[in-house]
Amino acid sequence: MYLKLSKGVGEVKALLLALIILTLALPMIVHAASSGIIKVTQVYTYNLNGEITDNTYDELKSVINQLPPGSVLVIYMETPGGLLDAALNIVSLFETSSVVTVGFVYPVGSYAWSGGTLVLLSTTIAAMAPGTVIGSCQPVEINEVTGQEVFITEPKILNAVAKYFVEAAEFRGRNTTFAASCVYNDTNLGPEEALRYGVINYVASDINQLLSMMNGTTVNVNGVNYTLIMENPTITQLTPPISYQLYDALQNSVIENILSILGVLLILAGLITAHVYLAGIGAALLVVLALLGLPINYAGLGLMVTGALLMALEWHSGGKLHGVLIAVGAVLIAVGLILLIPNVTPPQYALKYNPTTLRIILYSEIVGIGGLSAWIVMLIVRAVRAKPISTVIYYPVTGLIGVATEDIKAGQMGIVKIRGEYWKAIALEDVKEGDRVTVVSYENNIIKVKKANQ
């Protein structure tokens, strides 16, 4: 009995001891499961320059989706800000990404104002080069017609924007007071001030110094802490596909204004001179501008459809514009291909292709389409400039059979079609549209016809 009781007490003591050990070890086990090391052998860089637009978000999303989890992406920033919706989308992209994003306001003398500051606050690591500035985040409303900027002071909007800035800063453990102040008071900070107030992590003169400072840093990626170990990483510059570069260029305000003015002038010229095809080209330019407001894939598809319609219109017109619509249509199709093709490639394969090979394929397609269009235009111009077939082969034309293209009363002039050519003709008797006619005589490029014997 004693031994049994003693054994039971021993078991209880052993169990209690095991529970104590397990309790003490559990935090270490949990900590080990929620931390890790990222050995950085390659660093990717990307330039975020100019206004932040929806296209900026699409570019960054495309880049991040291509990178494997745990990659380090340094984003060089020099931006005056831009669309609030685009900046909010970028913040969400960074906060949910498995890539370590490093915002670096660089080079010396650069700036990341307004939406650029919000993007910087949302990066995993934030850094600035000497002589750079961030801040001035009060939202403005831009009149799309006049271009006039009006600062938003309505509390409903201002408070919402400020709160989002604060939450983005708090998510990364950054100074929330500055986040609110840069919205309400347009506060600006230089690099040393931003570092002192806990807005950024580092001040570095270049990327090599920045990477050296980052060595051994602990970062949080999707709730897991990782220590970055720099192992002499190679630096790879990422550039957006040519489709995004072209899309950005076409969305430039100067180019948009030039195209819109040109489109309106062509429409007016077409209506005044009764050249409806000129008006068609002008309308096509305005359609292009409208399509550029769509996401890049839809814009590319829309441009290709517009180009095909213009080429079909030229074909239907019988070459009255000497292939102008075909040339314009070919250009639109080529631009549409550039915008569309790189985006149907699965992202996971994008980095595996040789960029030079991609450019060769793309440019070959453009040259092929351009060459085909030039050949068609050449044939049309040659046909227009050539002498009428009748002056070479069919003299005299007396006795040839044609078809009336309209009703012609006796003694009046109309148009008949003879072997593919349209002739001015005087009817010797009433002729209905579609009637077969016989050429009776020819004089001064005008023929006389009568109904052909059935």
pLDDT digits (tens, 9 = 90+) for 43-97: 999 999 988 988 899 889 989 998 999 999 999 999 999 889 999 999 999 999 9
The verdict on 208 and 82 lying in the same domain is yes
The verdict on 125 and 215 lying in the same domain is yes
The verdict on 344 and 424 lying in the same domain is no
pLDDT at position 360 is 62
Domain boundary, last residue among 203, 225, 240? 240
Decide: residue 263, CB within 10 A, 0-12 exposed, 13-18 middle, 19+ buried.
Answer: buried
Q: Angle at the Cα of 234 (from 229 to 236), degrees rounded to 5?
A: 120
Indicate the range of 129-138, 209-218, 259-268, 332-341 predicted with least confidence.
332-341
Band (4; pLDDT cuts 50, 70, 90): very low
User: Is it the case that residue 375 has pLDDT exceeding 80?
Assistant: no
Q: Angle at the Cα of 79 (from 78 to 81), degrees rounded to 5?
A: 160
CATH number at residue 440: 2.40.50.140
What does the mean pLDDT of the chain come to? 79
User: Is it the case that residue 7 has pLDDT exceeding 50?
Assistant: no
Q: In angstroms, rounded to a whole number, what is the distance separating the alpha carbons of residues 388 and 423?
A: 11
The verdict on 210 and 340 lying in the same domain is no
pLDDT digits (tens, 9 = 90+) for 331-365: 777 777 766 654 433 333 333 344 455 556 656 66
Task: Taking residues 26-51, report their average pLDDT.
Answer: 74
Q: Percent of the chain having pLDDT more than 70?
A: 69
Q: How far is CA 222 from the centre of its chain?
A: 28
pLDDT at position 422 is 87
pLDDT digits (tens, 9 = 90+) for 381-402: 666 565 555 454 445 678 889 9
pLDDT at position 54 is 84
The verdict on 219 and 342 lying in the same domain is no
Domain boundary, last residue among 240, 274, 298? 240
Number of domains in the chain: 4
Over the chain, what HEC string results?
CHHHHHHHHHHHHHHHHHHHHHHHHHHHHHHHHCEEEEEEEEEEEEEEECCECHHHHHHHHHHHHHCCCCCEEEEEEEECCECHHHHHHHHHHHHCCCCEEEEEECCCCCEEECHHHHHHHHCCEEEECCCCEEECCCCEEECCCCCCEEECCCHHHHHHHHHHHHHHHHHCCCCHHHHHHHHHCCCEECHHHHHHCCCCCEECCCHHHHHHHHCCCEEEECCEEEEEEEEEEEEEEECCCHHHHHHHHHCCHHHHHHHHHHHHHHHHHHHHCCCHHHHHHHHHHHHHHHHCCCCHHHHHHHHHHHHHHHHHHHHHHCCCCCCHHHHHHHHHHHHHHHHHHHHCCCHHHHCCCCHHHHHHHHHHHHHHHHHHHHHHHHHHHHHHHCCCHHHHCCCCCCCCEEEECCCECCCCEEEEEECCEEEEEEECCCECCCCEEEEEEEECCEEEEEECCC
Over 53-103, what HEC string results?
CHHHHHHHHHHHHHCCCCCEEEEEEEECCECHHHHHHHHHHHHCCCCEEEE
The verdict on 182 and 59 lying in the same domain is yes
The verdict on 343 and 230 lying in the same domain is no
pLDDT at position 142 is 73
Domain boundary, last residue among 385, 417, 435? 385
For the full predicted model, state whether its pTM sits above 0.85: no
pLDDT at position 374 is 65
The verdict on 20 and 42 lying in the same domain is no
Most confident of 23-37, 119-133, 238-252, 403-417: 119-133
The verdict on 56 and 86 lying in the same domain is yes
Domain range for 295 is 243-385
Band (421; pLDDT cuts 50, 70, 90): confident
The verdict on 348 and 214 lying in the same domain is no
The verdict on 114 and 221 lying in the same domain is yes
Residue 101 or residue 318, greater confidence: 101
User: Is it the case that residue 186 has pLDDT exceeding 70?
Assistant: yes
pLDDT at position 393 is 45
pLDDT digits (tens, 9 = 90+) for 233-272: 999 998 876 667 667 766 666 676 677 777 777 777 777 7
The verdict on 189 and 165 lying in the same domain is yes
pLDDT at position 243 is 66
